[in-house]
Homo-oligomer: A and B are copies of this chain.
Amino acid sequence: MCQLLGMNCNVPTDICFSFEGFCARGGKTDEHRDGWGIAFFEGKACRMFQDAKPSAISPIADLVKRYPIKSTNVIAHIRKATQGDIRLENCHPFRREMWGNYWVFAHNGNLIDMNSELPGFYQPIGQTDSEKAFCYLLNILRRSFADGKPTLTQLYSVLKQTTDLMAEKGVFNYLLGNGEYLFAHCSTHLHYIIRSSPFSQAHLIDEDLTVDFQALTHPTDRVAVIATTPLTDNEVWTPIQPGELIIFRDGAPIEVKS
């Protein structure tokens, strides 16, 4: 399948360290060599880089590793193709505009029979079950809130209900973001860590690289990193439970009032 990486912070932060380890899994330390992509929200704007080449050798991934883009919300993905050829249009994340914001989606898993869903306003460009699932989700949200952007509580309720139904079609770990919130759904494997003061050192599993966050951060900084499997070997990562849909804002999970 694939691997997911997300970051949600209370101040713009670069993802170079985590992305370095994550990229290695795209053809160097692991087999996810069928393309990759990353989306950086910068306010309402969203910058994306994608390539059908393995992330471990892609010149564009190399730029992303070296060029510290500061963002409060990042979604990245390395692909091991299940449905859809190795082509650029099948690389995650996928992006659409809804209610005057970009929405970005990346999926780890495999959903059977996504073709049977009725076509809606949003249509897939590539062949993946993942992009079909994203379009289906957005079509449901648009139909549920035809008058415009709902409250977070309203949005969460429809998203959770739709996600639960879709998860019956297969494995459906995903990250979904709109620049303000990052939604993380676990179907089988997804972990997160919150880094906040006092910051310490972290060491990557996939590269022999250590970073001292103490030296790079301000005491009020807070950063949530979400990944399919932990990226560091000297920190404690929290597994998200199967069926759980967590909302991250400002670097931490938040509760919605129901």
Interface residues of A (CB under 8 A from B): 42-45, 47-50, 59-60, 63, 67, 87-89, 91, 96-97, 99-102, 121-126
Given the contacts A45-B89, A59-B63, A63-B60, A123 and B99 also touching, CB distance less than 8 Å: yes
Is the Cβ of A89 less than 8 Å from the Cβ of B43? Answer: yes
- Decide: A100 near B88, CB < 8 A? Known: A59-B63, A60-B67, A67-B60: no
**A125–B89 CB distance below 8 A:** no
- CB <8 Å contact, B45 and A88: yes
Complex-state Cα separation, A182 to B125, whole angstroms: 18
Given A60-B63, A67-B59, A121-B121, do A45 and B126 touch, yes or no (CB 8 Å)?
yes
Q: How far is the CA of A123 from the CA of B44 in the complex (A)?
A: 13
Q: A63-B60, A67-B60 are in contact. Are A100 and B87 (CB under 8 A)?
A: no
Checking B45, B50, B97, B101 against A96 with a beta-carbon cut-off of 8 angstroms, the contacting residue is: B97
Given the known inter-chain contacts A59-B63, A60-B63, A67-B60, please indicate yes or no for A87 contacting B45, CB distance below 8 A: yes
C-alpha spacing A222/B123, complex, angstroms: 32
**A48 contacts B48, CB within 8 Å?**
yes
* Docked pose: A59 CA to B87 CA in angstroms: 26
